């Protein structure tokens, strides 16, 4: 090592006029600003999706309720699913990836900054297009022209025969356009991780977040395209008189299902793998220990990514595949449980023997471990095809996947917000409000999604705007709806905390958590160029090596 | 607000990572391959299932000449890029131009084939499953040829204007990777549609 | 497997008794109250899966709880970082091998049940019914008979010693549907141009409820299922009754003529009359059904009249239009319908 060193300072400047600030934000190609744009965009759509869910839950609070008409309800569940997957969860994942990946691999920006901006604005346009559908028809009161075919838009319900007007087209085009944006971002992430790492950072020395986002990018590239292809086919059917999914002409509704789920299943891993990445960065820091079993964590993630492309028809166990077909997908789905379980054990082992600090990010990650475990176990139940023949299409499945996406993914996303908020804003959030958010949201989450399993076991199908009394479902639906209000309260506390802390929070400094990856070596928020001089690393935790020169990681790796 | 001090090494060690252009192009090719795979699967799934209307065996005639043109264009683009890498911009321009011409012949021939199918044989995208899957798959490929030709023509214009220099050889190589992919897809489409499907 | 099968009824009865002293069932659509072999097999498998996953859950929960209590930072923890442990080959091998073994066991158990349900063939004496799903009602054609009815399926009870199961061929006239009667079998979808097959062999007589389980359009929620399991004699009697043409009564002549002159006949069949429409439910023996509109309302004269007047009042979005009948026409047609026993 040399003796020269550079201290990175934070340049202060006068605030420019508002118009110029807006212009900078709209034309930015800086990965950090695009990351923030993605995240803010996702938060807005998270709130919209939450409102749609609340409307549904109020309608279902008791049997034969008439809070909304069946048409409105059907539009609500379609918009809720489409919004949450494509315009809340994916942008959040891309936002954090955009912000963190270049910083963590010691680069100045993503590989293709202008492609980055273009991809963001494409995806954003997709969201606006989808919500534009509310105008038209009866307008907002009747939920307008919003699509009502369910977020997986099964054929032939989506054909011109059964979906008159343009509501389905809004679904197709909005998702298609944002899918192109997603592919651009995924290409960017892969190119950044493979081509822009700082000197010394071999693939085996990257932070796990970089590895997991690399796998996520690969999955998007391979899995988004089948959906794009299927949507092109659907457009051809609807507007050019094609027969891909036209039963009258010999077309196959099952073909759509295959194509959709070939996208749909890897998609949930696209969302889950970055959630794993957040947990893999937060849990070690707050346990004060290195991640346990880094090589196996990488291998398990690669295995998950690979196997996830072969499990899709477990969404189709009820469509009448042969016994052999069903058996194959049972096997592949059960197989994917093994690397996933390994990851849970590794996180647990990271905490074992540590010195655990229960700050807000860690609270969310510990809850994630508990909840993702349950989600995985209900997944194993669903993987047993005969059991799935009862549970599929029921509220049990709805409870399962919300357990994964809310209890697993959203919880780690909240953890990531609190963990990296100091880096992104330069301020500390309010810890008491953070804990309040956690407890409110956790109580609400469990009220809603624990008890939601029961109506499924008692025979309640999904996507119904009302139900018969006397089926034993009433009390559970009531409890499920009550939980929604706790979650809403928690979310409001969260948003309030973010806003208040952004302007009034205590200055955070560059490394408030005493962490070990490269993003904590630069100012908070980082300057536009990230690092004055590109760092050179010798281990997976470069800052640990600097803070513990007597016991650096590269002795052991 | 100061941050951590990072030591600056005195000598920069050898640190070679792949170039981002080719990596991004490989990713794009993977994504496009996935899209084509879905259309090919649909085509194969529906082979023989059209109850009415023209059938492949009666109306399809393998476009050998067009295939030769398209595959030769892979050769010409390869020679062009190699010439540029060696510094010969003139040779590059000629072979690049040849690629564009061959691609154009392919497109023109496809258009002719389609005109015959539509007006003489009565096969449209609406006619039956064969029509739907045939025009979608071959059309998707033709669309990619059009996109490719657009990019190639732009570079040809730059070359004629004298703006292409040997240091651009990596960029032309990235473009040529796309073109090779388009040709590889044609090999698959040709096999599936004109050989297996008939 | 047999031990689990034998203890299931005990658990269920105990739970039910605990839940309600009058011993009302928890739910008429409880998947853990199986009454037919496919549902039995699924229930047994599910108890195995629940036991295994429950054990895993408790183990990991204990470890997690222990970790967050034992290893939390305390004021007495002192300065300095804990020992950095980067991995352990033995431990990692153990928690790879054990899950693989668990998966193998679950997989083998699952394959057995898949085979037992999907590879079953109809024995002699089985009843065969074609089920055609419509937006938003169910059409039933009984094989080897001219019986066509709607929404309420009658099947004979099956004696395990001499089984008389009912095999259902599942078809669709429009979008995707799914036939789900939880106490009798898992669900199977009805997909246009893609015939499916399922079977039930109910062990006890009674009424079993269910509903469509694949989103099929606006009134998916009101596409209810009622399966009446009867003794063999009762079933044979019902089938014979259903195969007769419609009752013809002069008293309701006005109603019948109204029915035949307004567009009703375009959609509905009444066997033995001029009405041969196929788009809507067969009405030949409408009054033998307990509900109308696939469970949208009970089959009372008042409801029937309200339905004919404006179906969308009872089931908004259903595909039967209001025919704009006058009061006297409504009375006449309703009276006619009331004779179709």
In chain A, what are the domain boundaries?
Answer: 21-545
Which residues from A are below 8 Å from B132, CB to CB?
236-237, 242-244
Q: Hey, are the CB atoms on B17 and A197 less than 8 Å from each other? A: yes
User: What pLDDT does residue A326 have?
Assistant: 97
Gap between the terminal Cα atoms of chain C? 46
User: What pLDDT does residue A557 have?
Assistant: 79
User: What pLDDT does residue B5 have?
Assistant: 57
From the list B10, B20, B32, the residue facing A111 with the nearest CB is B20
From the list B3, B9, B51, the residue facing A510 with the nearest CB is B3
Q: What is the pLDDT of residues A330-357, one digit of tens each?
A: 999 999 999 999 999 999 999 999 999 9
Are A258 and A314 in contact, with CB atoms under 8 Å apart?
no
CA atoms within a 13 Å half-sphere pointing along the CA-CB vector of A21: 5
A200: nearest CA in chain B?
A: B15
User: What pLDDT does residue C19 have?
Assistant: 43
Q: Are strands C127-134 and C137-142 parallel, antiparallel or unpaired?
A: antiparallel
With cut-offs at 50, 70 and 90, classify the pLDDT of residue A433: very high
Domains along the sequence of chain B with CATH: 20-196 (1.20.120.80)
Q: What is the pLDDT of residues A225-269, one digit of tens each?
A: 999 999 999 999 999 999 999 998 999 999 999 999 999 999 999
Alpha-carbon distance C215 to nearest alpha carbon in chain A (angstroms): 6
Best of B10, B34, B124, B137 to substitute, by most chain A Cβ atoms within 10 angstroms, is B34
Regions of chain C short of the pLDDT cut 50: 1-11, 13-14, 16-24
- ipTM value for the complex: 0.94
Q: Hey, are the CB atoms on A71 and C218 less than 8 Å from each other? A: yes
| Domain assignments of chain C as residue spans, ordered by start | 2-71+87-118, 127-242, 250-338
Read out DSSP for B106-161? HHHHHHHHHHIIIIIS---TTT-HHHHHHHHHHHHHHHHHHHHHHHHHHHHHHHHT
**Other CB atoms within 10 A of residue C10 CB:** 9
Question: CA distances (Å), B9 to each of A550, B5, C188, in order?
Answer: 19, 13, 67
Q: How far apart are CA C171 and CA C46, in angstroms?
A: 28
- Grouping H, G, I as helix, E, B as strand and the rest as coil, residue C169 is strand
Q: How far apart are CA B121 and CA B119, in angstroms?
A: 6
Question: CA distances (Å), B64 to each of A538, B54, B107, B187, C328, in order?
Answer: 57, 21, 14, 11, 75
Q: How far apart are CA A90 and CA A74, in angstroms?
A: 23
pLDDT over 90, % of chain A: 94
Q: How far apart are CA A182 and CA A40, in angstroms?
A: 17
A381 contact C CB<8A? yes
Best of A152, A289, A384 to substitute, by most chain C Cβ atoms within 10 angstroms, is A384
Fold of C127-242: Immunoglobulin-like (2.60.40)
Q: Hey, are the CB atoms on C213 and A394 less than 8 Å from each other? A: yes
A7: nearest CA in chain B?
A: B5
**pLDDT over 80 at A384, yes or no:** yes
**Other CB atoms within 10 A of residue A141 CB:** 9
Q: Hey, are the CB atoms on C213 and A461 less than 8 Å from each other? A: yes
C106 contact A CB<8A? yes
Q: How far apart are CA C76 and CA A149, in angstroms?
A: 59
Q: Any idea how long chain A is? A: 557
From the list C52, C189, C218, the residue facing A318 with the nearest CB is C189
Fold of A21-545: Cytochrome C Oxidase; Chain A (1.20.210)
Which residues from B are below 8 Å from A191, CB to CB?
20, 23-24, 27
* Surface of A (484-523) touching C: CB under 8 A: none
User: What pLDDT does residue A5 have?
Assistant: 56
Question: CA distances (Å), A250 to each of A535, B48, B75, B135, in order?
Answer: 61, 11, 42, 17
**Other CB atoms within 10 A of residue A160 CB:** 14
Q: Hey, are the CB atoms on C316 and A70 less than 8 Å from each other? A: yes
Spatial CA neighbour of A318 closest among C174, C117, C17: C117
Are C322 and C309 in contact, with CB atoms under 8 Å apart?
yes
Which residues from A are below 8 Å from B37, CB to CB?
226
Question: Which H/E stretch holds residue C225?
Answer: strand C224-230
Q: In what order do the strands lie in the sheet with C166-172?
A: C148-150, C137-142, C127-134, C166-172, C196-200
Regions of chain B short of the pLDDT cut 70: 1-13
Best of A318, A555, A557 to substitute, by most chain C Cβ atoms within 10 angstroms, is A318
A50 contact B CB<8A? no
Read out DSSP for A445-489? HHHHHHHTHHHHHTTPBSS-S---TTSS-HHHHHHHHHHHHHHHH
**pTM of the predicted structure, to 2 decimals:** 0.94
Alpha-carbon distance A18 to nearest alpha carbon in chain C (angstroms): 46
Q: What is the pLDDT of residues A164-202, one digit of tens each?
A: 889 999 999 999 999 999 999 999 999 999 999 999 999
Our answer on whether C and B touch (3+ beta-carbon pairs < 8 Å) is: no
Q: How far apart are CA A164 and CA A159, in angstroms?
A: 8
CB pairs below 8 Å between A and B: how many? 163
Best of A9, A191, A233 to substitute, by most chain B Cβ atoms within 10 angstroms, is A191
**Mean pLDDT value across chain A:** 95
Contacts 24+ apart (CB under 8 A), A164-171: A165/A137, A166/A133, A166/A136, A167/A75, A167/A133, A167/A137, A168/A238, A169/A235, A169/A238, A170/A129, A170/A130, A170/A132, A170/A133, A170/A145, A170/A146, A171/A78, A171/A82, A171/A130, A171/A133, A171/A147
A6: nearest CA in chain B?
A: B5
Do C2-71+87-118 and C127-242 come out as alike in CATH topology?
A: no
Average pLDDT on A297-303 reads: 97
Which class does domain C2-71+87-118 fall in?
mainly alpha
From the list C52, C86, C175, the residue facing A556 with the nearest CB is C86
User: What pLDDT does residue C263 have?
Assistant: 86
Beta bridge partners of residue C154, listed in sequence order = C228
* Surface of A (263-302) touching C: CB under 8 A: 287-290, 292-296
CATH architecture of C250-338: Sandwich (2.60)
B12: nearest CA in chain A?
A: A199
User: What pLDDT does residue A16 have?
Assistant: 85
**pLDDT over 60 at A9, yes or no:** no
């Amino acid at each position: 090592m040399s003796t020269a060193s550079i201290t990175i300072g934070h340049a202060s400047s006068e605030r420019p006029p508002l118009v110029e600030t807006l212009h900078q934000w709209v034309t930015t190609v800086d990965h950090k600003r695009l990351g923030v744009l993605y995240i803010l965009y996702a938060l807005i759509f998270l709130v919209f999706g939450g409102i749609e869910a609340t409307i549904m839950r109020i309608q279902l609070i008791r049997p034969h309720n008439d809070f909304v008409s069946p048409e409105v309800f059907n539009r609500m569940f379609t918009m809720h699913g489409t919004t949450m997957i494509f315009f809340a969860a994916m942008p959040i994942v891309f936002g954090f990836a955009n912000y963190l990946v270049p910083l963590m691999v010691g680069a100045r920006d993503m590989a293709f900054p202008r492609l980055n901006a273009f991809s963001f604005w494409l995806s954003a346009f997709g969201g606006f297009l989808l919500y534009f559908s509310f105008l038209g028809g009866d307008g907002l009161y009747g939920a307008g022209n919003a699509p009502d075919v369910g977020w997986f838009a099964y054929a032939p319900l989506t054909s011109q025969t059964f979906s008159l007007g343009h509501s389905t087209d809004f679904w197709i085009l909005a998702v298609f356009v944002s899918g192109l944006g997603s592919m651009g971002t995924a290409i960017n992430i892969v190119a950044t991780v493979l081509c822009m790492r700082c000197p010394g950072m071999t693939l085996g020395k990257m932070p796990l977040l970089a590895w997991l986002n690399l796998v996520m990018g690969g999955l998007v590239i391979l899995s988004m395209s089948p959906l794009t292809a299927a949507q092109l086919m659907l457009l051809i059917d609807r507007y050019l008189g094609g027969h891909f999914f036209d039963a009258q002409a010999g077309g196959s509704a099952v073909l759509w299902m295959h194509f959709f789920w070939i996208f749909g299943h890897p998609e949930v891993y696209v969302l889950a793998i970055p959630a794993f990445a957040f947990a893999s960065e937060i849990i070690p820091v707050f346990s004060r220990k290195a991640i346990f079993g880094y090589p196996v964590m990488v291998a398990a993630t690669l295995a998950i990514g690979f196997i996830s492309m072969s499990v899709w028809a477990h969404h189709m166990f009820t469509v009448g595949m042969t016994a052999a077909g069903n058996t194959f997908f049972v096997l592949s789905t059960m197989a994917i449980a093994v690397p996933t379980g390994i990851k849970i054990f590794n996180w647990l082992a990271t905490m074992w023997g540590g010195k655990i600090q229960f700050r807000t990010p860690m609270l969310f990650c510990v809850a994630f471990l508990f909840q993702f475990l349950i989600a995985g176990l209900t997944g194993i139940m669903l993987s047993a095809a005969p059991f799935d023949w009862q549970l599929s299409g029921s509220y049990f499945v709805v409870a399962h996947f919300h357990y994964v996406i809310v209890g697993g993914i959203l919880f780690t996303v909240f953890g990531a917000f609190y963990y990296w908020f100091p880096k992104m804003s330069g301020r500390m959030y309010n810890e008491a409000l953070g804990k309040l958010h956690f407890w409110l949201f956790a109580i609400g989450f469990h009220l809603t999604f624990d008890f939601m399993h029961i109506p499924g076991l008692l025979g309640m199908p999904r996507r119904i705007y009302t139900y018969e009394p006397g089926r034993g479902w009433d009390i559970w639906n009531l409890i499920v709806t009550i939980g929604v209000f706790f979650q809403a309260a928690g979310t409001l506390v969260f948003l309030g905390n973010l806003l208040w802390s952004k302007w009034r929070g205590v200055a955070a400094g560059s490394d408030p958590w005493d962490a070990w990856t490269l993003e904590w070596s630069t100012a908070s928020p980082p300057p536009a160029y990230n690092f004055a001089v590109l760092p050179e690393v010798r281990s997976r935790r470069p800052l640990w090596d600097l803070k513990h020169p007597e016991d650096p990681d590269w002795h052991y790796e | 607000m100061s941050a951590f001090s990072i030591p600056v090494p005195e000598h920069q060690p050898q640190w070679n990572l792949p170039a981002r252009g080719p990596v991004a192009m490989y990713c794009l090719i993977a994504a496009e391959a996935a899209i084509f795979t879905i259309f090919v699967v649909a085509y194969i799934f529906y082979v023989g299932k059209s109850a009415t209307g023209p059938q492949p065996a009666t109306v399809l005639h393998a476009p050998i000449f067009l295939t030769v043109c398209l595959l030769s264009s892979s050769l010409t683009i390869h020679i062009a890029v190699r010439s540029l890498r060696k510094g010969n911009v003139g040779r590059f321009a000629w072979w690049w131009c040849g690629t564009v011409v061959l691609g154009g012949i392919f497109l023109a021939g496809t258009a002719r084939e389609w005109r015959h199918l539509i007006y003489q044989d009565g096969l449209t995208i609406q006619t039956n499953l064969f029509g739907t899957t045939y025009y979608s798959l071959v059309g998707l490929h033709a669309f990619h040829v059009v996109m490719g030709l657009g990019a190639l023509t732009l570079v040809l214009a730059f070359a004629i204007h004298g703006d292409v220099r040997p240091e651009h050889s990596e960029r032309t190589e990235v473009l040529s990777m796309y073109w090779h992919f388009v040709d590889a897809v044609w090999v698959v489409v040709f096999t599936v549609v004109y050989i297996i499907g008939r | 497997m047999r031990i689990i099968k034998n203890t299931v009824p005990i658990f269920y009865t105990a739970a039910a008794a605990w839940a309600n002293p009058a011993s009302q069932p928890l739910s008429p659509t409880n998947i853990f109250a199986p009454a037919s072999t496919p549902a039995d097999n699924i229930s047994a498998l599910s108890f195995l899966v629940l036991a295994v996953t429950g054990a895993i859950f408790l183990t990991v929960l204990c470890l997690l709880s222990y970790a967050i209590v034992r290893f939390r930072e305390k004021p007495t923890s002192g300065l300095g970082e804990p020992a950095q442990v980067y991995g352990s080959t033995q431990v990692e091998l153990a928690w790879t091998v054990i899950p693989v073994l668990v998966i193998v066991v679950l997989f083998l158990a699952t394959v057995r049940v898949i085979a037992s349900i999907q590879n079953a063939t109809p024995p002699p004496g089985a009843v065969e019914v074609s089920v055609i799903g419509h937006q938003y009602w169910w059409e039933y054609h009984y094989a080897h008979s001219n019986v066509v009815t709607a929404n309420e399926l009658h099947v004979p009870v099956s004696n395990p010693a001499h089984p008389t199961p009912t095999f259902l061929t599942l078809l669709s006239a429009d979008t995707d549907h799914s036939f789900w009667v939880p106490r009798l079998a898992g669900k199977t979808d009805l997909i246009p141009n893609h015939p499916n097959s399922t079977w039930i062999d109910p062990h006890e007589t009674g009424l079993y409820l269910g509903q469509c389980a694949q989103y099929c359009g606006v009134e998916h929620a009101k596409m209810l299922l009622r399966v009446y399991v009867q003794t063999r004699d009762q079933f044979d009697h019902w089938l014979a009754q259903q195969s007769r043409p419609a009752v013809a009564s002069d008293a309701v002549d006005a109603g019948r003529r109204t029915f035949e002159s307004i567009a009703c006949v375009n959609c509905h069949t009444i066997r033995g009359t001029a009405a041969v429409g196929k788009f809507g439910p067969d009405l030949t023996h409408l009054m033998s059904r307990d509900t109308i509109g696939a469970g949208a309302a009970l089959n009372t004269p008042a409801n029937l009249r309200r339905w004919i007047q404006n179906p969308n009042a009872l089931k908004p979005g259903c595909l039967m239009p209001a025919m704009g009948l006058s009061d006297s026409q409504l009375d006449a047609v309703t009276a006619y319908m009331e004779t179709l026993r």
